[in-house]
Structure 1
Amino acid sequence: MNKTFDRYASVAFLLIGAAFVWESRKIGESSYGSNVGPDIFPLGLGLLLIVLALRLFYEVMRTKSDNGPSTKVKLDYKRFLIIVSAAVLYAYFLEDIGYVFGTFVFLLIGFQVIERGKWLTSVIVASLFSIGVYYLFVKVLEGSLPGFPVWMNIG
């Protein structure tokens, strides 16, 4: 933990979160066919970023200064590139493959990159999350997400 970097990062994240909240208020409040407007996601993201930045700032101020020997962290570029590639492909193909299937595959790849094995747990969590978020957003909040791809013949 580098206290100076974390302190500056928390202030930067706080300002970015405030900018998200400020600018999201300029977006229209509803869109056609949806009770959840396009302003909700950036507003929520900004608020979450503000809360996390405040938490980071609190943690930095609470910890004692560590003047011990610094440990060198080995960066894992292979895992990082796999996750970034999966995220880019997920964003690119989201409209074509649909939210539920795309999110399931993305989460499954992510879980397996983070911790190999435990396929059953990964499949269960990825499917419950993707179906649960889709149901919550589309059915409960009456928003719109890309459904299932045509080739799956579902919905």
Structure 2
Amino acid sequence: MNRAERKKTDPDLGVMAGQVLFSLQKELFSTLAEQGHPRLRPRHGAVLAYLDEDGSRATDLAQQSGQHKQVIGTLVDELVELGYVRREPDPRDRRAKLVVPTELGLDQMARSDAIVATIERRHAEAVGEEAYAVFRRVFKQVAEGHRGRLR
């Protein structure tokens, strides 16, 4: 059996994680587009998926998403231009800035959470609630293990 056949019949963690990620992103962003957010792209998820409703520091977004600070800065610039976030002084440290969602950003965040919850419910129904709960718990442990290796 050649490598390509093996990847199809017995995919490794990277292949499976990629398949899940790209499928989820495709459904999430196409549904968001239908719901009034057509200019967002999957790359914006590195900010929006981790953004707190009260605002987050760019350095925290970079750490949580695993992206470089410069990448997060570029994405924040794009999201400011698109009207999803604004920069404000951090009240705890006036030298720092917070990335704060606008009303449009808050709408996207709520819709995104609902869409992902629907996707997860569908998966849980397909494999069974208990099996899906075990999958999530184990996948979270694997993801946390990999995140720890990057630090």
TM-score bracket, normalised by the shorter chain, equals under 0.3
Higher strand share: 2
Larger radius of gyration: 1
- What's the TM-score once normalised by structure 1's chain length? 0.27
- What's the TM-score once normalised by structure 2's chain length? 0.27
Identify the structure with bigger relative contact order (alpha carbons < 8 Å, sequence gap 6+): 1
